[in-house]
Amino acid sequence: MTEQRYLKPGRIEVRLLHNTVGWLTRHGISIAGSRELAVRGRKSGEWRHNPVNPVTVGSNRFLVAPRGQTQWVRNLRAAGEGELRVGNRIERFTAEEVPDNEKPPLLRAYLGRWQWEVGAFFKGVNRDSSDEELLRIASDHPVFRITEQA
């Protein structure tokens, strides 16, 4: 089995960036379209919260994990559903993981929208990279198609 990529954020990043963005989002202020992901922990069953940057491609919405196989990725795989939150607005969704061969246009769209924030996690690949380059890094970045629940 190959090692799965995960770039763990540092303490300062968590305290300054994640906690600040999370606090703002919980209070109804979305930074450039960011959301707070709420998903049940796969072991504890407790709600876990992380800031995320959804991207829309065509008529579908996606969550991309720029840091790789994070805890929220593992929890979302196990739960198959979650919530995107901004203030009191809660959007419940189901999630389906996208296979690597379908990721290049999704990663390109994600980088086109969010590269200013997450580009450092993509090994020099950007929105102008070829499909082959995007496919090369696809397994390092889980992607989920999210569908709003009625």
Domain extent listing, the chain: 11-148
What pLDDT, on the 0 to 100 scale, is given for residue 2?
A: 43
What pLDDT, on the 0 to 100 scale, is given for residue 1?
A: 38
Q: What is the pTM of this model?
A: 0.85
* 13 — pLDDT class (breaks 50, 70, 90): low
Contact 29, 51 (CB under 8 A): no
Q: Where are the alpha helices (DSSP H) in 1-70?
A: 11-13, 19-26
Q: What confidence tens digit (pLDDT) does each residue in 90-131 have?
A: 999 999 999 999 999 999 999 999 898 888 888 889 999 999
Taking residues 39-51, report their average pLDDT.
94
- CATH H superfamily, domain 11-148: Electron Transport, Fmn-binding Protein; Chain A (2.30.110.10)
What pLDDT, on the 0 to 100 scale, is given for residue 121?
A: 87
Burial class (CB in 10 A: 0-12, 13-18, 19+), 134: buried
Q: What confidence tens digit (pLDDT) does each residue in 128-142 have?
A: 999 999 999 999 999
